[in-house]
Amino acid sequence: MVDVSEKPVVRREATAKGFIALQPATVALIADGGMPKGDVLAVARIAGIQAAKQTANLIPLCHQLPLTKVAVDFEIEPNGVAISATVRTDAKTGVEMEALTAVSIAAMTIYDMCKAVDKTMVVREITLVEKTKAEA
């Protein structure tokens, strides 16, 4: 791990985004709450939040951070679901990996919940879109 002991504690925030491409019929099932496994976006939101909190256990050499905010949001589009995650902490290192992990796991959860009805899904465009730091 990188030694961050000499760095100051500051407020850090990161936002990541991603997309899962789905058939329009699958999007309609998600929007209408008709997926056999249940409320896809509610489950994916919880999965993304849990994933952000477990990032240090999933990715070697990541620092374990005290997260103060994890928000996972979705925008239903005609051809899929856009996913965004914003993570915040007051710490000596940033939360980019936590935001990226939240989006990745939320997308994979959507994939898992929809795989019985859509064989064409594609997870794509997972990227960090913003990171900031300011005095805590």
Task: Give me the active site residues, please.
Answer: 112
Helix, strand, or coil (residue 134): strand
As given in the structure block, the two tokens for residue 86 are 């914003």
- Taking a C-beta distance cutoff of 8 angstroms, is the pair 48, 90 a contact? no
As given in the structure block, the two tokens for residue 100 are 């990226």
Q: What is d(CA 32, CA 28) in angstroms, rounded to the nearest whole number?
A: 6
